[in-house]
Amino acid sequence: MYPNDGFRELDREECLRLLAKAAVGRIVHTRQALPAVLPVNFALEDDGSVLLRTSAASELVRAIDGSVVAFEADQVDVTTQSGWSVVVTGGATVVTDAAEHERLVRTGPRSWVPAPQEVFVRIAPELVTGRELVGGRTMYGLDLTS
């Protein structure tokens, strides 16, 4: 059931189910040709798209609009040494349709730091991957359950 490394690959449905339970994730993008990671709150749409809400003037919007990014969320229990991690990779675009923007103001994620002008950024779920770690299964490649 679990390979020797203690991880189990999650299918897309499992990934999206777990992602829907998370409150905070991390967006990975490029800044000055180097990887940058920022924690963000988000909402998951029915099709698996990740939706962010941020200031229209933010550096993040300028950095990711029209770019391929990764979004990661996880949950870890250090006591049981178990948890999961899900990554959504895809193109990020600012929502520009006025009617959709108004709908998202009512139904989308709420900003933790509201700004006078906010935009929504959608990350298309082109690649959705995840892994689950179950504690106590292995250590240094040795099966500890026998």
- Tell me yes or no: is domain 7-143 CATH 3.40.190.10: no
Per-residue pLDDT tens for 93-132? 999 999 999 999 999 999 888 888 999 999 999 999 999 9
pLDDT of res. 142: 39
**What SS3 state is found at 133?**
strand
**Residue 106 falls in which region: left (phi positive, over 0), alpha (psi -120 to 50) or beta:** alpha
pLDDT higher at 7 or 14: 14
pLDDT of res. 115: 87
Gyration radius of the chain over CA positions? 17
pLDDT of res. 145: 43
Phi/psi for 63 (5° steps) reads: -75, -35
Per-residue pLDDT tens for 75-86? 998 888 889 999
Of the pLDDT bands very low, low, confident and very high (cuts 50, 70, 90), residue 87 is very high
Of the pLDDT bands very low, low, confident and very high (cuts 50, 70, 90), residue 138 is very low
pLDDT of res. 139: 40
| Residues 6+ away with beta carbon under 8 Å from 26 | 37, 38, 39, 40, 71, 72, 73
pLDDT of res. 5: 67
Per-residue pLDDT tens for 30-74? 998 999 999 999 999 999 999 999 999 999 999 999 999 999 999
**Residue boundaries of the structural domains of the chain:** 7-143
